[in-house]
Structure 1
Amino acid sequence: MNGTSRSADGTSSTTNGASRTEDGTSSPASEAYEERLRAFVGREVTGPTPGQDPVNQPMIRHWAEAMGDRNPVYTDERAARATGRPGVVAPASMVQAWTMRGYAATVAPAARDTAPGGLAALVALLDEGGYTSVVATDSELEFRRELVPGDHIAVQETVESISPEKKTALGAGRFVTTVKTYRDQAGGLVATQRWRTLRFRPREAGRPRAERSTGGSAAQPGAEPPARRPRPAVNRDNAFWFEAAREHRLVIQRCASCGALRHPPGPCCPECSSLWWDTVESGGRGHLYSYVVNHHPRHPAFTYPLLVAVVELAEGTRLIANLDGVAPEEVRVGMPLVLDWLDADPDLSLPVFRPAATEES
């Protein structure tokens, strides 16, 4: 059967054995290749893998502080017992963190998954088809019980589906959906996660000629065009924020019921659970709450060393952004910062920050 089908989201997919890319050239997706991909559907690609550490109070405390979550049931035994719990519990959204292996355990050759038919084999097969880039698209979590210090969590991952090739703004690609099952030390189910990524073939044509930044360094004349910035995962909860950013407005979501400000955007107020909200515009000033100097892994859209900052705005909310106009050795926690804008391309503008002294000098 030949032809092109169209999904509900407007993306197109091929139905013949040799699909074609956006530029009309034949892709490696022969019927034999499609069959090899289909063989992964329903397969366990990661066996039960225990986390490196059990659930513990220090990590819970660090998580709650980083997220700005002041719920006392995470850090105060007395407050937790007052709610009927036996003691402190871990935030539900931490479930994935307990099984993360860390950078070294993920990329070190000795630690890589080399099991036949495992996740590494699926990634290699997708790479063979040219789908060498990846972006996460969405995650759906279902929690069965709260985790407490001493629990030791393991995760197992199964492939649920691999889509036909789709035409997307990033390039031709396939949506890969896996289901991660989290169990405790007794084998009891604590959570499931449906995890979807887009594995895509990067587009070569139509790249912007240069990134434009009002605060960063300009591209040199005749230089190689930079790679496109990775696309953010835009959804109905955060689209307003990126639309405002394209207008060089840094907005903060505000609960219309209790007035609490929150970031990142979400559908529900964490203070009063109201679903009603509006926005206020930030004045663009703040201070450096924390930062990292990123060296690896490298992406061609960025220059290194790369300063990634947690900025606390004067309004009280925090956001993650790049830090510009300062050398890594000159950065200090608490330094005053001022907002600037990076126009990565016509479709993407992002806030960046630089030392406030730069503007005042």
Structure 2
Amino acid sequence: MVDELYDRLKAYEGRPAAIAAEGKDPVNSPMIRHWCEAMGHPVPEDGSAPATMLQVWTMSGLAGHGAARAGAYDELLALLDESGCASVVATDCEQEYVRVLRPGERITFDAVIESVSTRKTTALGTGYFVTTRTDIRVGGGELVGTHRFRILKYEPAERQAKAATKAPPGARRPRPVVNRDNAGYWQGIEEHRLLIQRCGGCGALRLPWLPGCNGCGGQEWDTVPAAGGGAVFSYVVMHHPPFPAFDPPYAVALVELAEGVRVLGNVIGVPYEKVRVGMPVALEFQRVDGEFTVPVFRAEEG
């Protein structure tokens, strides 16, 4: 079937979303410090901005970037809204770093509509993935990084109220994404061990698993098994949106383990409305669909 809307959307590829936009503030130490505190990262010893802070310097705030914003992106979104794809969700972003930014530097950036997908059907609904690419520069045009941001503009799938609260019979849980950086973690879970990475340089513990240490940058590491005790650091109760194989409402917690690191997992053993911050929990392992294992946390108080 010919998708006439896609042909119209495709024409926006390569058109600008922002032209010669300027960062609202120069790279500065207070923002670096606040970001590092929020992310739990140490401030770099040389005072530079962490590379992963790249997008922060492009944020427009409530006032926006004014004339720097190009009309093509707004036109594209309006076209999707008119077609019924009025809902939006951010799906992922990719960043490429050339060098770190230093206090006092001012950034400029240009953004382009890089791609629009064909019509896709997802669990949320049917729509189009739109990817923008932002090139970030300093001084006379030196490229310091590239940020790609992808959204899904979609028309929500129609669901009956009953289906919104009950998992379909025989529905299967999503599988964890296993790659070279976390394969050892998931192997440990299958063996009923929650393994925490330990930096071979500074000894810092980290979870989730990462290729290098956030503290010293060391690449060498080993693992230590979690003892199993912890407490609820924060939590949410999932009511909506529903997903196949999940039966809301249920509580998902960020658990602070006795070792000081934090991990996500469902809280079991008490009704969801009884979960509280500070509640002690104990690590257990739950087999899913007879195929893989996930960590869960059993509340230790009623």
Question: By the TM > 0.5 criterion, same fold?
Answer: yes
Equivalent residues in 2 for 1:91-110, closer than 5 Å: 91-100=50-59
Match for residue 276 of structure 2? 331
For each residue in 1:177-228, what CA deviation from the matched residue of structure 2 results, as whole angstroms up to 9, or x when unmatched? 4312234699765422234567789999xxxx99xxxxxxxx9xxx633799
SS at match of 1:266: coil
Q: Distance in 2 between matches of 1:37 and 1:340?
A: 48
C-alpha RMSD of the superposition:
5.3
Q: Are the structure 2 counterparts of residues 326 and 198 from structure 1 closer, same or farther at C-alpha, using a change threshold of 3 Å?
A: same
SS in 2 for 1:117: helix
Could you give the per-residue CA deviations for residues 127-174 of structure 1, whole angstroms, max 9, x where no partner exists?
Answer: 9487967563551322334232x6565654312233556799999886
Change (3 A) 1:345 1:268: same
Q: Which runs of 5+ in 1 are unaligned?
A: 1-17, 19-28, 74-79, 81-87, 107-113, 211-218
Give secondary structure in 1 for the equivalent of 2:210. coil
Cα distance, 1:65 vs structure 2: 3.2
Residue of structure 2 equivalent to 1:118: 73
For 2:281, the aligned partner's letter is L
Who is 1:250 aligned against? 194
1:147–1:229 Cα change, 3 Å: farther
Cα distance in 2 between the residues matched to 1:50 and 1:183: 10
- Quick one: structure 1 residues 244 and 151, their matched pair in 2 at CA, closer, same or farther if it must change by over 3 Å? same
Distance 1:228 1:91, change over 3 A: farther
Note if contact 1:99-1:155 (Cα within 8 Å) is conserved in structure 2.
yes
For the 8 Å contact 1:293–1:328, the answer to whether it is kept is no
Q: Name the SS of the counterpart of 1:96 in structure 2.
A: helix
> 8 Å contact 2:33–2:43 — kept in the other structure?
no
TM-score by length of 2: 0.64
Assess, with a 3 A threshold, how the Cα gap between structure 1 residues 314 and 235 changes in structure 2: closer, same or farther. Answer: same
CA positional deviation for 1:91: 1.7
State the alpha-carbon separation in 1 of the partners of residues 193 and 125 from structure 2: 29
- Please list, as runs of the form range in 1=range in 2, the aligned pairs for 1:147-296 lying within 5 A after superposition: 147-148=102-103, 156-164=110-118, 176-183=130-137, 189-196=143-150, 224-225=166-167, 235-242=179-186, 244-245=188-189, 249-255=193-199, 260-270=204-214, 273-289=217-233, 291=234
Partners of 2:251 and 2:26 in 1: how far apart? Answer: 32
Q: Which amino acid in 2 is paired with 1:97?
A: V
Q: Can you list the C-alpha shifts for 1:32-69, whole angstroms capped at 9, x where unaligned?
A: 33321321211123456666666554443343234333
**Equivalent pairs, count:** 290
Alpha-carbon contact 1:153-1:184 (below 8 Å) kept: yes
Matched, 1:312 2:281: no
- Given that 1:136 and 1:233 are in contact with CA atoms closer than 8 Å, whether structure 2 keeps it comes out as no
Q: Deviations over 1:228-272 (max 9, x none)?
A: 988876544235545655676433234467754322322234456
The partner residue of 1:41 within 8, 13, 18 is 13
Q: Which has the higher strand share?
A: 2
Separation in structure 1 between the aligned mates of residue 301 and residue 8 of structure 2, nearest angstrom: 58
- Counterparts of 1:294 and 1:184 in 2: how far apart (Å)? 44
Assess, with a 3 A threshold, how the Cα gap between structure 1 residues 56 and 319 changes in structure 2: closer, same or farther. farther
Maintained 8 Å contact 1:131/1:201: yes
Answering whether residue 255 of structure 2 is matched by residue 300 of structure 1, we say no
What's the TM-score once normalised by structure 1's chain length?
A: 0.56
Distance 1:355 1:47, change over 3 A: farther
Task: Could you tell me which runs of 5 or more consecutive residues in structure 2 were left unpaired when the two chains were aligned.
Answer: 64-68
- The sequence identity of aligned pairs, in percent, is 41
* Aligned residue type for 1:266: L
Helix, strand or coil at the partner of 1:158? strand
**1:174, 1:354 → 2: CA distance?**
40
Counterpart CA distance in 1 for 2:189 and 2:122 is 22
Give the drift of 1:336: 3.6
